Amino acid sequence: MDKLKKDAERISSLEIQGATDVCLSACDFLSDYAQRLEIDDKKKILKKLHKGKDILFATRPTEPAMKNGLNYILKKLEKELELIAISEIPSKVQQFKDEYHKMLLDSKAKIAKIGANRFPDDDPEGFTVFTHCHSSVVTAILIEAKNQGKNFRVVNTETQPKLQGRKTAKELLDAGIKVIHVVDSAMRWAVNHFEADIILVGADSITSEGTVLNKIGSRLLALVSRENHVPFYVATPLLKYNPETSFGILEIIEMRDTNEIWEEPPKNLEIVNPAFETVSRRYIDGLITEAGIFPSAHAYLWFQKLYPDLVS
Please report which confidence band the pLDDT of residue 312 belongs to, taking 50, 70 and 90 as the band edges: low
The mean-pLDDT minimum among 19-23, 154-158, 170-174, 298-302 falls in 19-23
pLDDT > 70? residue 141:
yes
pLDDT the model gives residue 24: 92
Residues 6+ apart with CB under 8 A from 38: none
Given the residues 7, 184, 197, 204, select the one marked as catalytic: 204
Name the residue among 198, 201, 145 with its Cα closest to residue 176.
Answer: 145
* Residue limits of CATH 3.40.50.10470 in the chain: 118-310
Q: Check the CA dihedral 272-273-275-280 and report its sign.
A: positive
How far is Cα 61 from Cα 51, in angstroms, rounded to an integer? 16
Q: Which residue has the higher pLDDT, 93 or 252?
A: 93
Instruction: Verify whether residue 122 is a known catalytic residue.
Output: no
How far is Cα 74 from Cα 257, in angstroms, rounded to an integer? 31
pLDDT the model gives residue 309: 82
pLDDT the model gives residue 33: 93
Please report which confidence band the pLDDT of residue 250 belongs to, taking 50, 70 and 90 as the band edges: confident
Given the residues 7, 27, 133, 285, select the one marked as catalytic: 133
Instruction: Verify whether residue 133 is a known catalytic residue.
Output: yes
pLDDT > 80? residue 13:
yes
The phi, psi pair for 125, rounded to 5°, reads: -85, -15
pLDDT > 90? residue 214:
yes
pLDDT > 90? residue 186:
yes
User: Which residues are registered as beta bridge partners of 154?
Assistant: 129, 179
Residues 6+ apart with CB under 8 A from 292: 114
Q: State pLDDT tens for residues 84-136.
A: 888 899 999 999 999 999 999 999 999 999 999 999 987 777 899 999 999 99
> What's the length of the chain?
312
DSSP per residue, 233-302: EEE--GGGB-GGGGGTPPPP-PBPPGGGT-SSPPTT-----B-EEEE-GGG-SEEEETTEEE-GGGHHHH
How far is Cα 189 from Cα 196, in angstroms, rounded to an integer? 11
Candidate CATH numbers 3.40.50.10470, 1.10.1200.10, 1.25.40.80, 3.20.20.100; the one for domain 118-310: 3.40.50.10470
Please report which confidence band the pLDDT of residue 1 belongs to, taking 50, 70 and 90 as the band edges: confident
Q: Check the CA dihedral 183-222-175-28 and report its sign.
A: positive
User: Which residues are registered as beta bridge partners of 255?
Assistant: 274
Please report which confidence band the pLDDT of residue 191 belongs to, taking 50, 70 and 90 as the band edges: very high
Topology of domain 2-110 in CATH is Four Helix Bundle (Hemerythrin (Met), subunit A) (1.20.120)
Please report which confidence band the pLDDT of residue 271 belongs to, taking 50, 70 and 90 as the band edges: very high
Q: State pLDDT tens for residues 55-68.
A: 999 998 888 999 99
- State the chain's mean pLDDT as an integer: 94
pLDDT > 80? residue 218:
yes
Q: State pLDDT tens for residues 29-60.
A: 999 999 999 888 888 999 999 999 999 999 98
pLDDT the model gives residue 78: 92
* Residue limits of CATH 1.20.120.420 in the chain: 2-110
User: Which residues are registered as beta bridge partners of 200?
Assistant: 233
Give the HSE-up count for residue 115: Cα atoms under 13 Å, Cβ half-sphere: 35
* Secondary structure class of 22 (helix, strand, coil): helix
pLDDT the model gives residue 210: 95
Give the HSE-up count for residue 99: Cα atoms under 13 Å, Cβ half-sphere: 18
Mean per-residue pLDDT, 182-196: 97
